[in-house]
Structures are given as C-alpha cells and as structure tokens.
C-alpha cells in the first residue's frame, strides 16, 4: 500500500474541514481511500507532483476540467503574473472585465450582455435570479447538475430522489428551506414529454435550465423542441455550459447544435485553472439584473478576466477543442479495443473531451478501485474518467494504455473466477460519485 | 469636468454588463457620475493609476476593504507568484487550505472546523446552510448586511422595507422565490427586545446571523444577551465578520467583546486583495455540512489560502489592526476639527479602520459629490468613507486634510448662502449607497 505525506495531511484535514476537501469530486475517497496522494506540491502540463515529490501523469479529472490547456500554461500564467505585478484589486474596476464581456458576446452573437462571478454555483444562482426576475415567475424546470445552492437542491425536498439521476443518488437536502418545495422540477434528458407535462401543470414556471448534453447527446430534434416550448410559453431558456463550454467548439456546445438559449453560463475551463465564471444572455433578459441586487466584492478581481482573455486567445490559436476531442476519441478507441480483447462489456459515455467508461458488473466499484490502485503504482492518476487537455500527447496515451492492458486482463480473470478482486485490493473500495459523468 | 479613457470604457461597459460593474459599491455613479476614473491600470500601496496613467492617492474604499496591507503587498504577492509558478489548480488538493484552517482555528479557540469559499455571498450562504442543517429549523433572525443571495433578500418579500436599515432602502427582491417569505426576520442593532420578540413568535427559528458592530458599537450587554438567547433557545449564533474581521484585533471583532458565536465568517481582508473567504465554527455545528451538499470547483484554488497565510503572517508581524485603527482615529480627529472650524455638524460612524462621516443637511449628497469632485482634481480618491490601510502614512493624511479644508470651507459657505452648491457641481450628483457604513 502506497501512503505518504498526502495521506497524513488528509487525516488532519478531516478533523479541521467537514468533508476534508472543498469539492466532493476531489475527495481522496472518490479515487483510492487511504492511498490517494490527496495533495499536490506542483502541477505542470499533464503532470503533477505530490507532497513527497513523486511525479504523476494525470489521466484523470485534470483539475475537474479546469485546465484544457494543461496545468501552468505559460501565456495564461504570464497574464496572471502581470496582474500580480500591477494589482489584482482596487477601488476602481478592471478594464479586462469589459474586454472579456465583449469577447464572449462576439463568440455568441445571440447574446448581448454578460455578468461574471467566481464559482459555477454562483453563476448558476445568478442565472436563476435573472430568469426569475425577467419572467416574474418562480418555478424552474431543470435537467442536469447545477451546483450546491438552495434553489437547486430544493428539488429533493420531499422524496429525496428527484436529483438521483442529475447529481447524487439519495441526496438529503438538509438545511435547504422546506418552503422551496416544488419550486424546481426535474425532467430527464431527451424526455421531451416530461418537460411538456411540467409546463402544462405549473403556471408559475418561468425558466428551463439544462445541460446541453449529458452522458449522451441530444436525440434528433430534442434541443429544438425545448427551445420551441420555451418560446411558446415565454420561458427563459438557460443552458448551463459550465462544464461543456469550449470542449467541442470555441464557445458553448449549443453552437454545434444551432439552438440558442436566452442565457448561457461558462465556468471551469474559461480561465484555465484560475477562477472565473460567466453568465451571458440576451439584453431583454439580462437587464432584469438591474432591478434586483446581484453584487459581490471578489467578482471584481482582475486575475479572473485576465486569465480568461489569455485562455481564449490560446484556445483559438491552438483550436484546443479539436485537439482534446481527438484525444478523447483515441481514448475511447483504446478502451473499446482493450475491452474487446479481454471480453469485457464496456459502456463509454460523455463528450469525447470528457469521456468515461464503466462495466455493468456487480464488482464495478472494486474494479474501478483496482484500476486506480495499479495505475498509481505506475505513476499515473486514473479512475474511469478522463478530462483531456492539449498537453496529452500520443506518448502519454500510449503509456496509459500500456499500463491499463494488464489491469483489464486481471479484471477479466476475476470475472472468469481465476482471481478474486478482493484478494488484489490493498485498501478500501472507492466511494461512488456523481451520476453525471460529463 | 475631468473625463478620460475610464469614462469612455464605462460607457461601453454599461451596454455590455447589466449595472456596468460586478459590485454595486464600485459603480462610478456611487462616487462621481460621468467623471470618476472608473478603471485602473495599476495599484500599489495606497496609490492607483487610471487608464490615462494618472496617479491617485486612495483615501476612499481601498478595494472595498480588501487591502489592509495596501495594494500589491510584496510578501503576499510573492506567495501568489509561487502559486502561479507551481500551479493554482490540479486534480489533487492544495495543502495550504489545511494550514489556513489550522491557523484560523488557532486564532479562534472556540472554533474547531473550517470551510472556505471565494466570495462573501458564498460564505454567508454556506453558514446559513450549515446552521439550518444543524438546527433542523429554517427561520433565521438577521441584523446587518449579508450578501446578495436569495436566503437574505427574501427578508424584503412583502413590504420591501425590511432591509432598509441593513442594505439599501426600498430594495425590490425581484427574482427571489416568494415561497421564502417570512423565513428571514430582521431585527435592529442594539434592540434586544426585537430579537426576543422574534424568538417568542417563531418556533421554526434555528439561527441568528448578525454583524458584531454596525455604524455604532454594541450597547453594554447587548452581544452577551444575544449569546444567551441563542444558547437558551438552541439557536446557532453566526457572526458575519466578512468586513469587521482583522480591522481592530487579530481575528474576529468578537474577540474584543469576549462573546463567542457558533459560526463566524471572514472575507474581504483575509487574502489582502486575493479572493478567499472562510467559515469557521464549532465541531458539533460544522459537522452538519457533511449531511448536506456544499461543494464547488473554484473553492479548491491554491491562490486564496496561500495569499491568506502570507497576509496573516504580515498582519501579525506589523500588528496591522493597531496601525489602521490609529489611522482611523487620526482621520476622525481631522474631520471633527475641520467641522468645528467651519461650523458644520458632523456625524462620524463605524469602526476606526472603516470610518465614515456625514452632515445632516438637505444638500448632503450634493456636498458629498462636491468633495469627490474637488479631491479628484487634486489626485485623491475620496468620498465620505475611508477604509484605512497600513500604507496610509502621516504625509498622506496631511495631504488629504490640506485638500479637504477648503472644500469644507466652501460647504460651510454654501450653507451660509454665500455660494450655491449647484453652481460649483460640474456634473450629476452621486447615487446614495449602502445604509451600512462599515
């Protein structure tokens, strides 16, 4: 069993920080309980180093998708260093926020106005506030994962199962006011009739918020029908592109499908590892923001928009969405080939740039844990999902698949009864995570 | 009338960004409509430079209180540069967050556990979620300003006046679900009977959230009585120290009064201009965070906790709270002396380190605008409030008061009918802002 300074520090963290980390998806238990390196000292390209100075190739979540250009991209970091030299904050505003607003609107000609925040949860809450203020109605139909705030978790008040397919199974919305019950109404992706029924039965419905794509893409006509329903019923259509933005095209994924929302949000990748999120929208909707109160000190930071401007320049120059999509397609091919060789029935889901696999097997979580355990020994961070970055080159993919092959072979032998997975696991099984994989 | 590139850019911003800025308090209209420089190119110490390269001494909000150590503090910036060099974000967590949690708990021995966020609004929402989850009750009594989120603004559903004394007069909580009506119940500072009545009439009350000090400090026994009411009724007591923390002592202002809450939040000054906010609390309350879902990608950034650790080191070494409090006391003395000389009845409020003045005169907003207008000509950013920083030295205060004297004289002459304020204003009058001055 590998343990090091990281696991020592994590023991301390669990006493000081409820949950141990700030993000559920970065909990060591999600990967390899008691063995995951947990903390980093340095990250660069598609590599990182733990607290013991050990190097790892990151073939996992790449900062949960924040670093399409890889960790520590020179041009983005240079823009941030200039901000540090000239001041991140002042009594006056930073001009970069206006330039970034202009840039995002030019990439999305249907949009006219922009607000910025620092986290995806905030961007989601701002979009909902604006949509409710613009429509004058409180109910929202949702499809997908939209953060931790009250407005969203309220969907689970009552039976506690509404968000099972969107977030986590059985999530108890403890601490969310019960008065919010029935304000948020989930529908399943590609199930247009579920949305129609929500619209029919809820006259106070003012908005639809959804992810453009989930584990699967849209069925033919699905997004167009959602758009039509929104238009016909005077509902604000919001696309949450915090995760999907800039993965498959230069901007929101909705550009690929030719369906335009009234509001879209971007997060994660926009600043290549520096905190910045954006809410863009049509003027007639966005102007409702002025009739309510949406304001926060740290939304005025200069690092965020400066990093985003440099990130967009570099993405555009590299056509990064093509690189990471090609990487993802190669990765899928590799998984499929190994599964075919070892007679494992594999499910592969997600956008190519955020691709994940699973086996429909009773011992799946044990196998997933075993993959992480064995890859870690080889200096590779891996689970069953890969957020691709432009620094993932053919030699990294080769290294990953060379190490993955004997692991798939062992899993196959376990399934055939030749080996027992319990005998080869060196620690506890990982926790199950988000239902959404992309 | 002074105008420059900043006002040009702001005209563009108002078309692209609803409200023009991310923070209400940084809108140019709050200071000097059509003339305020609006944007900065550089900030250092207690100086900043606008887009035309013009230098200003900042005797105003100093980034709305984010920079107690001044803009661009070498040691804090050096810590941030190291983060840029070694990676702000990765699949693993940053060890600095554990060190910062440990540090904040050691400064506040009543607290055991910590969560971090990036903005003050988030910190407020996290504290409320935890308090509601821990108590199992949804209603909250509040006193003060606690951000832009639904939970707080819901206090204004109905008559629209509940937050008049806490935030802004007549704020319309447009876009806040009406179902939240009566979940948040405001009481006035130092009015213990109002709190008692809320407790008596609302069995679903689970928490009290308040600022420790507002424009005035606590009446003798007030905070102790609040603490007793919370204890007797099993209510989670939350002190919002986002603004007051580290201004008058090394940590929360509550340390000066010897009254301990169950949760406290810090913001603004904690990272000296880099985004980081903290929620600290007793173990039995904070552990409720694990029974609900509180998680966000950008809360895992390394810059925030790294900047905070360097900021705390430097604050402790300088005893910055003593420096800025002494500055504030000198500033008050200066205002009082000038008012006495020119026969103006002045009201001075707030913590010394965040001190503000006003005249009870019908033309007050015009005079405030005139002060900003004239000071701007002298290369000084000024309104009626000063967030002091350690870089404010005697020569800066002298310069400020030398320029302020003829302005107070003119105001006095306007009051005596010798001059007309409308004749000396060169542009529109500023907007009125927050009711809370500290």
At A150-163, the pLDDT tens digits run: 999 999 998 778 88
pLDDT at B2: 60
Q: Which range is least confidently modeled, A167-176, A250-259, B57-66, B147-156?
A: A167-176
Smallest Cβ–Cβ distance between A133 and the set B84, B174, B287 belongs to B174
**Are the C-beta atoms of A423 and A353 separated by less than 8 Å?**
no
**Are the C-beta atoms of B374 and B305 separated by less than 8 Å?**
no
Question: What would the mean pLDDT of B246-262 be, rounded to a whole number?
Answer: 98
pTM over 0.95: yes
Question: What would the mean pLDDT of A22-51 be, rounded to a whole number?
Answer: 97
SS3 of residue B292 by DSSP: coil
pLDDT at B165: 82
| Per-domain boundaries in chain B | 5-72+319-424, 74-318
Q: What is the mean pLDDT of chain A?
A: 96
pLDDT band at B436 (very low <50, low <70, confident <90, very high): very low
User: Other CB atoms closer than 10 Å to residue B381's CB: what's the count?
Assistant: 25
At A124-143, the pLDDT tens digits run: 999 999 999 999 999 999 99
pLDDT at A438: 35
Contacts of A125 in chain B (CB under 8 A): 149-150
* Residue B360 CB partners (closer than 8 Å, separation 6+): B345, B347
Inter-chain residue contact B300 with A22, CB threshold 8 Å: yes
SS3 of residue B212 by DSSP: coil
Integer Cα distance of A150 and B231 in angstroms: 26
Residue B151 has pLDDT above 60, yes or no: yes
The fold of the B74-318 domain, in CATH, is 3.40.640
Integer Cα distance of B40 and A92 in angstroms: 6
At B321-364, the pLDDT tens digits run: 999 999 999 999 999 999 999 999 999 999 999 999 999 999 99
User: Other CB atoms closer than 10 Å to residue A42's CB: what's the count?
Assistant: 16
SS3 of residue A186 by DSSP: strand
What CATH number is given for A5-60+319-424 in this structure? Answer: 3.90.1150.10
Residue A170 has pLDDT above 80, yes or no: no
- B166 in contact with A at a CB cutoff of 8 Å? no
Residue B437 has pLDDT above 90, yes or no: no
At A256-303, the pLDDT tens digits run: 999 999 999 999 999 999 999 999 999 999 999 999 999 999 999 999
ipTM of the modeled complex: 0.97
Question: What would the mean pLDDT of B115-140 be, rounded to a whole number?
Answer: 98
Per-residue b or e along B75-110, where b marks 16 or more CB atoms closer than 10 Å to that residue's CB:
ebbebbbebbebbbbbbbbbbbbbbbbbbbbebbeb
At A398-409, the pLDDT tens digits run: 999 999 999 999
At B218-236, the pLDDT tens digits run: 999 999 999 999 999 999 9
Inter-chain residue contact B299 with A178, CB threshold 8 Å: no
Helix ranges (H only) for B19-164 are: 28-31, 62-65, 74-86, 96-107, 120-135, 150-153
At A100-122, the pLDDT tens digits run: 999 999 999 999 999 999 999 99
**Are the C-beta atoms of A208 and A237 separated by less than 8 Å?**
yes
Q: What residue ranges in A126-242 does DSSP mark as E strands?
A: 139-143, 184-186, 205-210, 236-241
Residue B20 has pLDDT above 80, yes or no: yes
How many Å separate Cα A220 from the centre of its chain?
24
Inter-chain residue contact B50 with A92, CB threshold 8 Å: yes
Task: Tell me the CA distances in angstroms from B233 to B187, B201, B230, B238, B241, one per residue in order.
Answer: 17, 12, 5, 14, 23
Q: What is the mean pLDDT of chain B?
A: 96
Task: Tell me the CA distances in angstroms from A269 to A17, A241, A356, one per residue in order.
Answer: 26, 10, 18
- B45 in contact with A at a CB cutoff of 8 Å? no
Integer Cα distance of A431 and A149 in angstroms: 23
Contacts of B41 in chain A (CB under 8 A): 86, 95
Inter-chain residue contact B98 with A301, CB threshold 8 Å: no
What CATH number is given for B5-72+319-424 in this structure? Answer: 3.90.1150.10
Question: What would the mean pLDDT of B79-87 be, rounded to a whole number?
Answer: 98
Beta partners for residue A71, in sequence order: A45
Between helices A303-318 and A96-107, what is the axis angle to 10°?
40
Task: Please state whether beta strands A40-44 and A47-50 pair in parallel, antiparallel, or not at all (unpaired).
Answer: antiparallel
């Amino acid at each position: 069993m590998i343990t090091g300074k990281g696991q020592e520090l994590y023991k301390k963290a669990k006493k000081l920080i409820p949950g141990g980390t700030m993000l559920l998806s970065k909990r060591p238990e999600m990967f390899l309980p008691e063995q995951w390196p947990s903390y980093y000292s340095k990250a660069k390209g598609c590599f990182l180093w733990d607290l013991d100075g050990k190097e790892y190739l990151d073939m996992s979540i790449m900062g949960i998708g924040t670093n399409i250009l890889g960790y520590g991209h020179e041009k983005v970091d240079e823009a941030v260093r200039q901000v540090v030299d000239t001041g991140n904050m002042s009594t006056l505003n930073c001009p970069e926020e206006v330039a970034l607003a202009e840039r995002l609107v030019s990439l999305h000609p249907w949009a006219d106005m922009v607000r910025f925040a620092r986290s995806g949860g905030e961007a989601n809450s701002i979009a909902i506030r604006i949509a409710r203020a613009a429509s004058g109605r409180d109910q929202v139909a949702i499809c997908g994962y939209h953060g931790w705030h009250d407005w969203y978790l309220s969907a689970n008040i009552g039976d506690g199962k509404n968000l099972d397919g969107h977030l986590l199974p059985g999530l108890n919305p403890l601490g969310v006011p019960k008065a919010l019950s029935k304000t948020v109404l989930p529908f399943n992706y590609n199930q247009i009739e579920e949305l129609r029924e929500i619209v029919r039965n809820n006259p106070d419905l003012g908005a639809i918020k959804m992810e453009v794509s989930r584990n699967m893409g849209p069925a033919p006509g699905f997004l167009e029908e959602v758009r039509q329903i929104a238009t016909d019923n005077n509902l604000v259509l919001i696309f949450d592109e915090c995760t999907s933005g800039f993965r498959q095209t230069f901007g929101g994924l909705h550009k690929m499908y030719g369906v335009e929302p009234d509001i879209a949000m971007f997060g994660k990748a926009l600043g290549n590892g520096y905190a910045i999120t954006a809410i863009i929208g049509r003027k007639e909707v966005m102007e409702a923001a002025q009739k309510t109160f949406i304001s926060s000190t740290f939304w005025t930071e200069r690092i965020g928009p400066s990093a985003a401007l440099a990130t967009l320049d570099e993405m555009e120059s590299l056509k990064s969405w093509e690189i990471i999509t090609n990487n993802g397609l190669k990765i899928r091919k590799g998984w499929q080939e190994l599964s075919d060789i070892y007679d494992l029935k594999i499910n592969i889901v997600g956008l190519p740039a955020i691709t994940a696999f699973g086996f429909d097997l009773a011992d799946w979580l044990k196998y997933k844990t075993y993959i992480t355990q064995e890859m870690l020994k080889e200096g590779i961070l891996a689970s069953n999902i890969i957020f691709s970055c432009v620094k993932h080159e053919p030699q990294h993919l080769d290294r990953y698949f060379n190490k993955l092959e004997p692991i798939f072979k062992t899993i196959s032998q376990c399934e055939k009864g030749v080996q027992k997975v319990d005998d080869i696991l060196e620690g506890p099984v990982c926790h199950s995570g988000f239902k959404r994989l992309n």
